[in-house]
Structure 1
């Protein structure tokens, strides 16, 4: 009876040991496919992007940062860029050499579907059973933002300096960069650029500012002010003005100029910045002239078409128009 009882105890211990071993193996298997899997590292990287934690994202990606503005590498600008990445699915890793795998990730930005593969390396193990994975070393991609001769622009809600109209932005991926330019006198509509790899085929984000209605109105006002001041002069040839009248007859009444057609203001881009297209209009002269031979006095009303150029200077706070008169 004692032998039978001992065998039962031993069998119980063996069964318990087998259950413990099976549980341990199951736990190792689960951990290897989750917490210690290469896919888990990729998932953590995406979580860091979504939370705007650039420091953690950079550490996970194991990437160096090229020279340029760090404006979109952290905080709200990074969150905005990552929020455009939707329907993220991390796929099963594929072998890419000894102790290396590629982890494909599918996602959508706007109306387009993308796949980005992240290379990871096995760097060792923990507690003998759990492999450790890290992203293969790389460098962040860069995007060139240009905005003609404007000194700043806005990318993902963050104002950035654009010396000589351009700047280079290192960025994480996948994200979407959205840039625009807005000021009182010039504006460029928003443009977006998906960045989906460390070596993007397209890394240019050009903005095309155009004059605002406020600038056209300001220039138009200065042109009208200049022409009105010319018309207010009671002489046949107002100095430094684009219109005049020549006659050999004697003046017999008042000289009255009036602007019949003001020039249409068109502001055009040039290599140096912005320029006014040639300005054309017409003025009317009303006066009385006396014939030198007959002494007869005649009412005169003539229209004088004119053209002239003007130099345009625009700053953040002022608009200057300098007419250029040549005969």
Structure 2
């Protein structure tokens, strides 16, 4: 049997035509075979994944924004801003209610109408600082009054929390200032403060609780006396009173004439007395003999005193005698020595004293030298 293999060793190689596949296609090894393609995600699940991630981001952002907004709306300065917003808008009743400020009908300047008449009202503000100490907080604000900034400090109390996160603050009622007026004049003098009518107390003063502003102050002395009009300014809050307003009254021409008429009426009443020592008068007679009976007793005014009316003192408008009057006392007598006439004087009539006030009919005079305490009788 003969060997079928060729000498070159190719005799045992299969015929090319007997190999499956395309003619002339290159033979690929396992290492050269293409990688298996990845399976693509369907569109629906892909969008869901992206949307889910975006929702988480949005929730985080919304949480941050919500917390930031909540912190701002629950900050300690919010009640202060609300109070000052009402005040700058002239809503006095709302402002007082929001701040818990107690007042009554006697607080005539704490109304919308009265505050509208004030000048240099609070027209704006800015919050300068807020300090949170846990259960309390302080807020410093600058109020715009009459073209300048006035510092005011407000105190707030923490009354609870909202949603267990944000503090709830309540504004403590700020201490209001006051308009203080002192009148050198009679008690019960009529005043107009900020267009509101008030009267002074027994010591001649009036104190009115007031919001920041400048208030006109005028005296109504009728036809008898007057005083220069003035103003009182209350700056900010904190219980600061205005610089005390002092008003000095002076008599009008009618008031001065009425004062002199009152002095003359007092002198005439003393002269009309039949007593040797008229009650409350500046002159008197003495030396009566008890052994005699005195009848037809009378006083005669030989000369009327002259007076001048000066400024108000602690007791009234001072009346000074510029020249003494003269008075004489006479009486018929009868006794062991027979009958006759007794006389005393002439003696000085001193009309010094005070005009203490006025009624509708005129001045009231009070002598300072009653019963001759500064005079010499005879």
The answer to whether the 8 Å contact 1:142/1:168 transfers is: yes
Q: In 1, Cα distance between the equivalents of 2:168 and 2:366?
A: 72
Q: Does 1:194 align with 2:234?
A: yes
Q: Does 1:124 align with 2:181?
A: no
Kindly tell me: are residues 118 and 310 of structure 1, through their superposed partners in 2, closer, same or farther at Cα, counting changes over 3 Å?
A: closer
Residue 319 of structure 1 corresponds to which residue in structure 2?
A: 362
Residue 181 of structure 1 corresponds to which residue in structure 2?
A: 219
Q: In 2, Cα distance between the equivalents of 1:137 and 1:221?
A: 53
Q: In 2, Cα distance between the equivalents of 1:20 and 1:187?
A: 74
Q: Does 1:271 align with 2:309?
A: no
Q: In 2, Cα distance between the equivalents of 1:111 and 1:181?
A: 28
- Which whole-Å deviations, capped at 9, do the CAs of 1:114-134 have from their partners, x for residues lacking one? 211111223223344543211
Q: CA deviation at 1:103?
A: 1.0
Q: Aligned to 1:11, which of 37, 50, 71? A: 50
Structure number with larger C-alpha Rg = 2
Q: In 2, Cα distance between the equivalents of 1:22 and 1:79?
A: 47
Kindly tell me: are residues 323 and 178 of structure 1, through their superposed partners in 2, closer, same or farther at Cα, counting changes over 3 Å?
A: closer
Q: Does 1:93 align with 2:149?
A: no
- For residues 12-91 of structure 1, what are the structure 2 equivalents within 5 Å? 12-19=51-58, 21-33=60-72, 35-64=73-102, 69-81=106-118, 83-91=120-128
The answer to whether the 8 Å contact 1:218/1:319 transfers is: no
- Which whole-Å deviations, capped at 9, do the CAs of 1:266-299 have from their partners, x for residues lacking one? 4321222223344469xxxxxxxxxxxxxxxxxx
The 3-state SS of whatever aligns with 1:9 is: helix
Q: In 2, Cα distance between the equivalents of 1:26 and 1:315?
A: 72
Q: In 1, Cα distance between the equivalents of 2:244 and 2:66?
A: 48
Q: In 2, Cα distance between the equivalents of 1:88 and 1:264?
A: 58
Task: After the TM superposition, list the runs of 4 or more consecutive aligned residues in structure 1 that deviate by more than 6 angstroms.
Answer: 321-327
Q: CA deviation at 1:4?
A: 4.2
What do you get for the CA RMSD once the two structures are aligned? Answer: 4.3
Kindly tell me: are residues 6 and 121 of structure 1, through their superposed partners in 2, closer, same or farther at Cα, counting changes over 3 Å?
A: same
- Which whole-Å deviations, capped at 9, do the CAs of 1:9-43 have from their partners, x for residues lacking one? 3312432453354245324423532x433222112
Residue 146 of structure 1 corresponds to which residue in structure 2?
A: 182
Q: List alignment gaps of at least 5 residues for structure 2.
A: 1-39, 266-299, 325-348, 370-374
TM-score by length of 1: 0.63
TM-score by length of 2: 0.56
Residue 254 of structure 1 corresponds to which residue in structure 2?
A: none
The 3-state SS of whatever aligns with 2:301 is: coil
Q: Aligned to 1:205, which of 223, 233, 244? A: 244
Kindly tell me: are residues 89 and 186 of structure 1, through their superposed partners in 2, closer, same or farther at Cα, counting changes over 3 Å?
A: farther
Q: In 2, Cα distance between the equivalents of 1:311 and 1:170?
A: 33
Q: In 2, Cα distance between the equivalents of 1:220 and 1:171?
A: 37
Kindly tell me: are residues 222 and 103 of structure 1, through their superposed partners in 2, closer, same or farther at Cα, counting changes over 3 Å?
A: same
- Which whole-Å deviations, capped at 9, do the CAs of 1:43-74 have from their partners, x for residues lacking one? 22123334554443334334456x99322222
The answer to whether the 8 Å contact 1:181/1:190 transfers is: no
Q: In 1, Cα distance between the equivalents of 2:366 and 2:235?
A: 47
Kindly tell me: are residues 190 and 322 of structure 1, through their superposed partners in 2, closer, same or farther at Cα, counting changes over 3 Å?
A: closer
- The alignment of Structure 1 onto Structure 2 pairs a total of residues equal to 271
Q: Does 1:157 align with 2:195?
A: yes
Q: In 2, Cα distance between the equivalents of 1:160 and 1:100?
A: 39
The answer to whether the 8 Å contact 1:121/1:135 transfers is: yes
Q: CA deviation at 1:102?
A: 1.4
Q: CA deviation at 1:176?
A: 4.3
